[in-house]
Structures are given as structure tokens and as C-alpha cells.
Structure 1
Amino acid sequence: MGPDTEIIAGYEVYTPQAAADYGRSTRNSTSTAVHPLDQLSITEITDAASIVKGHYGNTGVKFNTITLKEPKKVDYVAFRDSNGPRPDREAFVITVTKGHHVVNEVMVSLTKKTVLEVREIADVMPILTLEDLDVCERVARNDPRVIETCREIGLTDMSKVFFDGWAVGADERYGFDRRLQQGLAYWRASELDNQYAHPLDFAVVIDTEKEEVLRIDIRKVDGKRVAVPKDQHNFLPDFIQDGYVTDRLKPIEITQPQGVSFTMNGNELSWAGFHMHIGFNYREGIVINDVSVDDMYEQRRRMLFNRLSVAEMVVPYGNPDIPHHRKHAFDIGEYGMGLMTNPLKVGCDCKGAIKYLDAVMSTSQGYAAVLPNAVCIHEEDNGLLYKHTDYRDGTVVSARDRKLIISQIITAANYEYGFYHTFSLDGTYKLEVKLTGILNTVPLTETEEAAPFGTRVAKNLNAHNHQHIFSLRIDPAIDGLKNTVIQNDAVSSEIPVGDTGNLYGNAFYCKKTPLKTSKEGACDYNHDTSRTWDIVNTNKINPACQKPVGYKIISRESPNLLCKPGSLVWRRAGFTRKTLWVTKYREGELFPAGDYVCQSTGQPGWPSNETVVDWAERNDNIENEDIVCWLQFGITHFPRTEDFPLMPAEPLSVMLRASNFFQKNPALWVPPASHDPDTASKDLNKCCEGAKTSTADLGVGKISAKL
């Protein structure tokens, strides 16, 4: 850390002087030009802020966002595929006028060092930054009315009262003349105490820019305040180290004595035939671009995906009581997955030989803020890749799979989410999300029941029912930019039992339905038919099967949104109404719940904040077009006592698998496994010798218990 930098909330913040010093120290150390999709650097963020300040003059401005303005797709693809000109570096900046609620979008050319465009955006509110959330706690804790509200339930030391800042959603009491937050109140008995064991019976609504408390919403039972739950439910080592059992588990050592199998050139990564670019931004966190694969059969590199990102998520809570009806967090659109990212630690968050990438974001002053180790890249064993035992001649062939994992972990108030973008040797991409952290709790009286809208997870503690629904944005390029989506349903033959063609009634097949328009591209999951979708390129035919090459979308964890149609959440989280949306690609359409989610109303056709619901209504042709797929997945969480005080990680995932993309198993290049890696090249079947000898004398059709 230099003399002009400081550590704030885990970020190393660079003043303009520190950024200038950094720029001078690195200017001559970079051998290649910046990749057009690389996140903005420390110096670029500082330069963008300086250019914007110069444009505004003496007008007080607060920087909400300074991030990369990705080049137009047509320009970038020309650069990537056809040796076209390198796109200019541009920044996208969102500003808020200090003390007011005027929101502007500013486009900045970093190449030309000038402002390209300024747009004032009406009736929207930008993302809540970490600095904004700190405002909520500071203002609420010092407000005389809040102090009196705490005194009424016996709390007089406000240093022990804490407020989690949440977006307020839409509050009918206020319009768009105020930038709102709600603060959920908790108490701590000591510095390291678990505050979620001591929820308070009220929430505050504050004006972020005016820095004032507007309302205190108190939930009373039979006209009375609810007492503070005081029982301790702590989990940090400081409290329970004497309760640890240390002799049950032996150490597991993960070593890669010859190093990792992936290489990186800047942020471009190559691994086991895969190639991609790893980006990062304040809102989506990890962004993976230019995913391609080396095809051993066709002897060429083939495109798979232009861009992959987690574009939105929503956590609607199911208790209808005021003020809990406002709890439906859009953790990406309202707070930013990049902004909430943890700095990762070896041995705790990732194991093995690891490559870390830092994240570079911005502060309200326009300073660059670096979060170290925001992204972890590493390999893991992935179990069985392929195997076959021939019981006739005793031959066995078996190989181990391996996966490359590109991950980040975020903290969204009480919850943690781990996002793991995973590639495996058979050409599969899988997004796995792990949910952990602490349940959001509210206090119960002795006579209240938590059911039906929650669970009593401990004495006087209610954890409400809720859902976690994520949206994976898939910009496909399956062997080219023109793609089509086909819906697959497993169905029984329509031919009656006993009739010719289905004499014994056992016939079934895959019913394939091409999705022709964006309205048809709004699809539900169907458990009865094990529904999947193929993203295919009808212009490229697999010579082995004479079918279009494709990749299959597999998503079996697809809960329906349980909030009623017409409800506030149903309107605001319109993307959750369908498992899959397929839209025609248009520039700037990145976020399915809209560009500005804070205080959004979800009204259809809102021109300043369109959503995927509006894009589907255009009814564009989506056959053999440049398309985007929006895939929803998640869980419905009815809390358990086992989830408290610290929730065991719960995984869920979606998958994109090759479907007639390759002419045969793309992983046959992987040598069979060997117990002894030093002799693997000499005797690839060493690990199978036991099975080979145990079946040597078997007759056809006999099974040996030794296997």
C-alpha cells in the first residue's frame, strides 16, 4: 500500500496522485495492448472521473458507477474475427447530483479523453453502493426518533444497535423524488456477537441523499412492542473453539507438483482445449467472453459463447406483514455482485494451485478501488470421465475428469453466495451456486407462531420463507453468430398400444419444437417431459448424425415465482415468470430486470427501464438470428433449524452440454487413469490390472464378486 492509498472495507483506494504514480510504474511493464474487454484499470477509472469532473465544472457530483463501456458487438467481433480495428476504450459513468436525486449517464472516451454524451434519466434510481449502505446505518443510529424507539425496548447503548441497509423496493408513500433505503435493525451483546440472533421489531426508511430518516415502521403484536431476543447463537471460533472436534478428520493435501494445466495471457485463459476471456464489473462480477474449444476431430477452433454472466437475481420473502412485504432483494441490480465480492483466501475459499484476479471499481469521489483476490481460478478432480469394463475379455478403460473453476463469493448482508463457473473435459459448462451465510430473522413473542410464513429456528426467532431465483445470461455463438433454440420434450408415442408402430406400448421419443419468435421463446420448465432446450446452428450440420450442431440447456432446478400475478414482486421481477426467455440480440440489453432496479415499479413498457418482458413482446424473429438466452433457476427455501445460526452451503446448478456438436466423445484424448502418475505414460492401464486379471477366466454372462 502506497502513501496515497488507504484500505476501506477490504479495498485499496487510490487517490488521483496514487493512481498517477501507479500508472507511471506500470506504463513500461505492459508488453501487449489492453484487451478491449478488460475491466477498467486504476488509471482509466481516475482518468474517467477527471474528464467527467472537468465537464461538470463546479457542480457537485457523486460518482455512482465508473465501469467499462463494452464495445459494440459488431465492432468487437470484427476486431476479434476479422482483424478489424481495435475498438476505442470507453467508460460508462453514472452520476448523482450531491444532495439531490438527479441521475445522469455519461459516456466517456478514454482514447480521446473527452465526454461523448450526457443523458439525464428520469424516474429511476441507480444502484446502492457500499458507501450508500454505510449512510443508512450512520444516519439511523444517530436519529433521535430511532434512539427513542430503541429506548422503548430497553436499548440505550446505540453503539450496539446495527442496521442492514436494503433497497426499499417500491414504497407507495414516496415517488422518485427521493433515493430510498430501508434499514433492518439488530442488536449485538458484544463486538463479535451474531446480530441476527437479536433482531429488533422495527425498520427505518431513509433518504440516502438527504441523509435523513423518513419513517420508522414498527411491528406490534396486540398493540405492544416485541422484546429483543437475548439468547446467544454465536459461531465464531472466539465463542466455540472448545467445542471443536479435531481428531475426526485427517488432512487432505491437494498438490500439483508440475503446476496448473491452464495458461493466461493477461485475462485470456486457455485450458484443456478451451479458450476464453475473463472480465469483471461492479454489477455482474465475473463475465466470461469468447468461449471457444479446439475440436480434435475437425482440427479447428470452434466458438461456443460470446458472453456468459449472472445478470440478475431476486430473493422474495413470503411474509405479508408490514414492513416485511418490502423484503425482496435484487442482489445484482440493487447492490451489484461485483461490489459485494469477498477478497478470497487460499485454503479457505479455494484449495490447490490458484491464480487470483483483482477487481478494480470506483468510489463516490471517483477514486479507483482495488479488491484483491476477487476471482479465483483453479482446477479440481471431477470424478469419473468415462469407463467401460468388458466382462468377456476383462479389459477395462477408465479416465478421470477434471474441471476448471472460475469463482467469486459475495456477501449480501446476511447471506453469502458462491458462484462457480465450471468447465469440464467433455466440453460442458456448468454454473453452480452455493448458498450459505445466516438466515434473515425477525423477533417472535412467546405466544406467536412462526408458521405458515416462516419457521421458528430458535426461541423467539422467526426465519421467513423465501426464494432465491437467478438469471444466467447466455449470448451464444454455437459455431457461428446465427443460432436457433429448439425445445425438447420427452413424450410417449401418440400411437395407441397394440397398433402397428407401438404394438407393446413402449414407444417414446423426443418432441422437438423450434422457437420462432421472442414470444414463443418465453418458456416454462416442464418436469413431466424432462424439458430441455438446444441452442443449435442450423447452418452447420454434424456429419455423423446429419443434425445441426448444438449445445443443450439443462435446468431442473426451476421453481415458479410464488408471489401472486399482479403483485409488486411479480411486476418488478418479471424475468422470473419464465424459466427461459429467448430474445434477439440488441445493444445494451444486459439486465433482465432493467438497467435501474432500485425503486423500479415493473410497469410494462417503461421506456427508461425496459425489461426482458418488454423485449419478448417485440415478437422478433429468433430463428437463425443473433440471439440471447435468459435462463432462470433457483430454490424455494423453507428454513430449517439446521440452517441456524450458520447455514450449511446448499448447492444448485444449471448446465450447458454439447448436443451433436462434436462427432464423437470429445474427451477421448484424455489418457486413461493410472494409480502411479510417474508411470502413467508407460502403462496407462496400470490402475485396471486388478480388474483385468479377475475376469480372465470368466465365461460369457458371468459376473465376478471380485469386481
Structure 2
Amino acid sequence: MSTCGCSTGRSPSTAATVHPLDPLSAAEISQTAAIVRASSKSEVKFNSITLIEPPKSEYTAFRDHGGPRPTRRSLSIVIPRGTQQVVEVTVNLVSKTVESWREVKNVMPILTLEDLDVIERIARVHPQVIEACKGLGIIDMSKVFFDGWAIGVDERWGFERRLQQALAYYRTSKSDNQYAHPLDFTVVADTEREEVLSVDIRTVNGERTPIPLEEHNYLPELVGTRQYDFNRLKPINITQPQGVSFTMKGREIYWANLKMHIGFNYREGLVLSDVRMRDPYDSNNRDRKIFNRLSIVEMFVPYGSPKSPHHKKHAFDIGEYGSGFMTNSLKLGCDCKGAIQYLDAVLNSSSGTPLVIENAICIHEEDNGLLYKHTDFRDGRVISARDRKLVISQILTAANYEYAFYHTFTLDGTYKLEVKLTGILNTYCLHKNEESAPFGTEVADRIDAQNHQHIFSLRIDPEIDGSNNAVIQNDAIPANLTADQNPYGNGFVAHKTPFKTAKNGAASYCHETSRTWDIVNPNIVSAIAKKPVGYKIVNSQCPALLAKPDSIIAKRGFFAQKALWVLPYRDYELYPAGTYVCQSTGEHHPENLTISDWVARDEPIDNTDIVCYIQFGLTHFPRTEDFPIMPAEPVSVTLRASNFFEKNPALWVPPSELDTDSCSTNANSNMTKDFIEQTKSVLGPKL
């Protein structure tokens, strides 16, 4: 049992049951580190150690045709101690040998949590930082804290330095909310040499900005329990007395008609592969392929204030820090409720030691409201069924922000990725002669929260009934007909635009036409609809990138300029902002290609193996209600079956009148037995 009263389970795996896509085990990480160290001429720092997923053709041959089991390989990104060199090392875990040792020039790898700790440790004792704090009346440096960030742009240094910046805050006590007391300077440091390079103090008309000292706390020990009302809300208990409806075989999950593999790595965090659904209308009861691979490959947070230091704040939270590295352990609170299955994550320290994040992934079921319903107004007969969703989730902390990712599947075959944003706004101190507007909001006295955007990139490797797919754009428009053909002017149609090449497949959202996109298999046509089988992308929460097109922000975040990109599949082309995002400029780099390079090839994307990058998110104009801790704000993107099934694929779900477990309790009575008996009398022998 967990600490919050939720039932839990754990899915152990052994070497004999390792799936080719299973993440590296603790033993494999240790083995990799030992092999790399033995092959190195100097001491190395391990930035990351991860599984190299097998090439798709090799994995498909194994999965579908009984081909040989793919060889397990690991990729280590290492930095020789005291240098700025970046080396990629490929290790064959079967032969226990190094297959490749390759230095990559003019790139910088992810800043790990260990890296980000460096700047707080060295800044707190640096003479210039201490002097800057004295200018604000701060003597006790133990009350000063530094949030490490990748440096968005700083022309003073190039790739001879592995840079990071820090935003400074003050705490009046151990548990005080530091974001209520932002300081007026930032620090730039060299991560590898552990050197403070600059202390940048911002002045307004030659004056320092005093610390805003009013406390704005949210932790119970500081808020005080007298503020809470424990009686207004009655408990909601979620129970599944017969257990969950899914089963696990290692990291493969089977639920309702769906099955898939659940992976995890330091960069993307959760990865879902081999998503298939059993077709209830197929005479052979076959599993139909839907998605080969799903993952969140980037998260871009550009800030919209041109004032210093905010122009340097445009975080690529996945490319610069790693979703896996920032993942929370969910064991200490009810981040999920009900009967829960947890999966751990195994990552690495800089020394190559395995690090286990317990309960990094939460798997559970939730009621999802109505699945279908109809009332016959003639005889009053009602038919309805309850939907249910399978939720596979992770939560990460990126300094001040929390992001909760919920990959959800429902009984009709719909996939939805929902992200809930919470945590604390990034804040800055406001001088008496300044106003927060128009580039931010004064969320508390002399505390400025700047306008910013959150743009997520969901990478979908579709496999709609096979590997050869295509994308068609749908726009709802008035029918282009003559007055004779459309005498009442009411006709409208879906205007369909097939995407042929990568440049053609770069699309923006259009609210006026309710634009959607179909991922289809052009080789398989629905016998009923006479249209290709497919899955529809529904994405209306896709803000346009607001940085000017020629800015470094727009160049680095080129992928965020469109709501959809469609590209031909290539093994190991994953990350739209590049494999190495830290200190990138957005310019072409032969060893760090981005989506702009892939699109420039303008290769065919029709009836071939393709990948889709779907951008979604929100533009955040902070509110006072977002402070001192933000109510969770959801954004999402949805993919729904479109002429994929012969008919409603969830008709196998018993209607509520036949399934007493799905009936709810009346607010003023026990289970509605009378209703069930009345229904039986109407149905008679049909029941």
C-alpha cells in the first residue's frame, strides 16, 4: 500500500524476459560504465547512458517475422574530466566491447541535475556574488539560492566554455517560497571548470532593486492549518475491488483491446511503442497496428520580455535538461488515485553509477464519463455505457515548473496526450520606477512574472495498418457550387489536401476551417466509407511562436514555427531542436541536425514510412491567481480513429443497465436497484 491509501503493484523483470525496447537495467548501466572507463585514456564524466533502440527494420523482423533478437547496445555521452570535449561511445552489451568512440565538435550535451548543482555551490561562495548580495543587505549567504538554467544566448563565450546561468533568490527561512524574493542579478558559470565567469547586476536608472520581502507561502507549516477547511469537501474514494483491468508482462501492457510497450529514457522520459488494438469486427480477431512509437521530444519555453536578463530565458526543457532526469518519484503522494501499477526508472550518475527513480511511471484506470448514450423519446428507453481510460503518466520538475504528462487511451481507440502545468511562476524583482506591463504581470507587490510560451512537440511514428502511411489535411469550407446546385447556400465540405513532400507537409493550424489532419494508409480503403483507414489529429491548442522569425529564439526553436511537420522516417532522427541543444544557435551543424535540416531535404512523404511532429501548448500571460503556486492548467492533443473500424469499436462494452458495477449511487439512496428492476421489466427476455 502507498502512503496515500492507493493500492499499488510493481512489475519485476528478469534478464530472461528483457524486451528489445526495455530500458537499460542497473546492471547494464554499470557494465557500460566499466567498459567505457576501461577503454578511456583519461577519467571521464558520464553525461548520459542509455539504450540504443534497434533499427526499425531489425526490430520489425524480430517482432513480426521471427527474426534474430536485436543486439542490445548502449550509448554513453561522456566528457573527459576538466575538458569541454564531448564523446559518443557505443558499447555492445553482448560482446562487452566498445564498437565506436567518436568525438563530436562544437556541441554541448544536456545539463544534468548534478551539473545544475554546480552553479549554486560555487556562486554562493564567490566573492563577486557575496559582494552583490551585500549591496542588497544580505549577509547570510545560506539564505541565497540559485536556480541553474541553460544559457539561451550569451555572445561573450563560445564553445570553449560549457555554460550555464543562474537566477538568484532569497529565503527568509528554510521552507520559505524563494520565488517571492527574486534578486536583481544573475550568474554565468563554466560547468566543467567550476568557475564563475560573470555576475550581471541589473540596475534601473543606476539603482539596485531592493528585495521584495513580503512572504507568499504555500507549504502547510507556513500557511497554518487554520486556513484550510477540512469539512467543506467530502472524501471521494476510488476502489476497484476486483482489481485492475490491465495486465503486465514485463513492460508490455494489455488493456481492453489495446496493447503496447512502455519504455523510458533520460531524454524523452516515457516512450510508448507497438501500440495495437484488437479489432472487434475482424473475423480473425487480429491486432491492428496504430503507432510504432510515441514520445514527447521537446518542450520549448521562450520568455517574451526583451528586458535583461529575460532575453536569455528560453528553455528547451527536454533537450537541455532531459525529461527522464527531471522525473519525480511518485511514491510519496497521490499523484495517481485508485489501483496503481508503478514502474521504476534507472538512470546514471556522472560516475556511471545506476540511479533508481522509484515509481517514476504511474499506470491506472479512471472512469471517463459517457462512452455512448441515447434516449428514445417515443418510449423513454435509455441506453448508455460508461467509458474508461487507461492513464500512463509521469511528472517532472523543471526548476520552478512542474509538468504532469498523461498518456491516455479510451475504449473507442482514442489516444490523448494531456499535459498539466503547475508549480511556481518564474519571477523577477520590480524596481519602484518600473511597471511589469506590457511584458508581464505584477503578481504580488514588486514581483514580476513575464509573458512566456510553452510549446510541446509530440513525435508520432505512425503505423496505421502498416508502415506505409500518408497525411491529408482537412479544412471545413463552404461548398463551391452554383446557385442551382446549392439553392439554400447551406452546403459545406471537407477540403482535402494530401501532403506530398516534407516542405509541403509543414502546416499551421487554421481556426476558421477547424483544420484537422488524417494519418492514413492509402493502400487500405474502408469498405464502408470508401476512404483510406486512418487516425485523425485534433489539435486546436497550438499557439504560434511569437518570437520574430529572424531571432535566435526562432532559429533555435524552428520546430515550434508550425503546428505539424511530416517527414520520412529515418532511424535515430528524433529530436527536432537537435541532439545537442545546449548553447546551440539554430544554424546548420553537420553533426547536430535539426528539423530545419530534415525539412530542407524535401523528401517524399506520401505512401511511405513517415513520422509526424505535432506542436501544441499555450501562451501564458501570468495572472495573480497563478501565484504563489499555480492551479494546474491543462493542454492536450488528441488522435481519434477515422474510418479505421467498421463501426463503433466500443459496442462490446456492456451498457450500464446490464452492468450493475457501472451504476452509480444516488445522492439520497443506495444503489439504484429500482431503476435496474424497471429496466428488466421493459426489456423482458432481452435481458
TM-score over 0.5 (shorter chain) = yes
Q: CA deviation at 1:170?
A: 2.8
Q: CA deviation at 1:393?
A: 2.4
- 2:192 equivalent in structure 1: 209
**Does 2:644 match 1:652?**
no
- 1:104 equivalent in structure 2: 87
- 2:235 equivalent in structure 1: 251
Q: Is the 8 A contact 1:516 1:623 kept in 2?
A: yes
- 1:517 equivalent in structure 2: 501
Q: 1:686 to 1:73 in 2, by over 3 A?
A: farther
Structure 2 counterparts to residues 290-329 of structure 1, below 5 A: 290-298=274-282, 299-329=285-315
**Does 2:396 match 1:410?**
yes
Q: Is the 8 A contact 2:657 2:679 kept in 1?
A: no
Paired residue secondary structure (1:505): coil
Residue identity matched to 1:489: D
**Aligned counterparts of 1:678 and 1:639: Cα–Cα separation in 2:** 44
**Aligned counterparts of 1:161 and 1:218: Cα–Cα separation in 2:** 15
**Does 2:504 match 1:507?**
no
Give a deviation string over 1:271-307, Cα, whole Å, max 9, x none.
Answer: 0010000000001000000000000101211000000
Q: Is the 8 A contact 2:371 2:386 kept in 1?
A: yes
Q: Is the 8 A contact 1:316 1:466 kept in 2?
A: yes
**Does 2:575 match 1:574?**
no
Residue identity matched to 2:163: L
Paired residue secondary structure (2:467): coil
- 1:394 equivalent in structure 2: 380
- 1:84 equivalent in structure 2: 67
Q: CA deviation at 1:392?
A: 1.3
Q: CA deviation at 1:606?
A: 1.8
**Does 2:616 match 1:633?**
yes
**Aligned counterparts of 1:30 and 1:450: Cα–Cα separation in 2:** 56
Residue identity matched to 1:441: T
Q: TM-score normalized by structure 2? A: 0.94
**Aligned counterparts of 1:300 and 1:648: Cα–Cα separation in 2:** 44
**Does 2:455 match 1:493?**
no
Give a deviation string over 1:403-434, Cα, whole Å, max 9, x none.
Answer: 00000000000000000000000000000000
- 1:12 equivalent in structure 2: none
**Does 2:93 match 1:93?**
no
**Aligned counterparts of 2:532 and 2:205: Cα–Cα separation in 1:** 66
Q: 1:428 to 1:91 in 2, by over 3 A?
A: same
Give a deviation string over 1:143-200, Cα, whole Å, max 9, x none.
Answer: 1110001001100111000000000023111110100000100000000000000000
Give a deviation string over 1:69-128, Cα, whole Å, max 9, x none.
Answer: 111111001111111100011001000111110000011100110000011101100000
- 1:539 equivalent in structure 2: 523
- 1:480 equivalent in structure 2: 466
Q: CA deviation at 1:43?
A: 0.3
Q: 1:561 to 1:223 in 2, by over 3 A?
A: same
**Aligned counterparts of 1:653 and 1:118: Cα–Cα separation in 2:** 40
**Does 2:126 match 1:143?**
yes
Give a deviation string over 1:212-265, Cα, whole Å, max 9, x none.
Answer: 110111111110100011000000010122210111000111000000000000
- 1:67 equivalent in structure 2: 50
Paired residue secondary structure (1:334): helix
Residue identity matched to 2:109: P
Structure 2 counterparts to residues 197-596 of structure 1, below 5 A: 197-240=180-223, 241-298=225-282, 299-345=285-331, 348-496=334-482, 499-596=483-580
In structure 2, runs of 5+ residues without a counterpart are: 1-11, 664-670
**Aligned counterparts of 1:60 and 1:74: Cα–Cα separation in 2:** 37
Aligned partner (choices 116, 120, 145) of residue 162 of structure 1: 145
Paired residue secondary structure (1:442): strand
Q: CA deviation at 1:507?
A: 0.5
In structure 1, runs of 5+ residues without a counterpart are: 1-25, 697-707
Residue identity matched to 2:185: F
Structure 2 counterparts to residues 119-134 of structure 1, below 5 A: 119-134=102-117
Q: 1:692 to 1:292 in 2, by over 3 A?
A: same
Give a deviation string over 1:534-573, Cα, whole Å, max 9, x none.
Answer: 0000111111112110000000001000001111110100
Q: Is the 8 A contact 2:251 2:261 kept in 1?
A: yes
Q: CA deviation at 1:394?
A: 2.2
Q: Is the 8 A contact 2:89 2:101 kept in 1?
A: yes
Q: CA deviation at 1:674?
A: 4.3
**Aligned counterparts of 1:125 and 1:693: Cα–Cα separation in 2:** 69
Q: Is the 8 A contact 1:386 1:398 kept in 2?
A: yes
**Aligned counterparts of 1:162 and 1:54: Cα–Cα separation in 2:** 38
- 2:666 equivalent in structure 1: none
Residue identity matched to 1:509: V
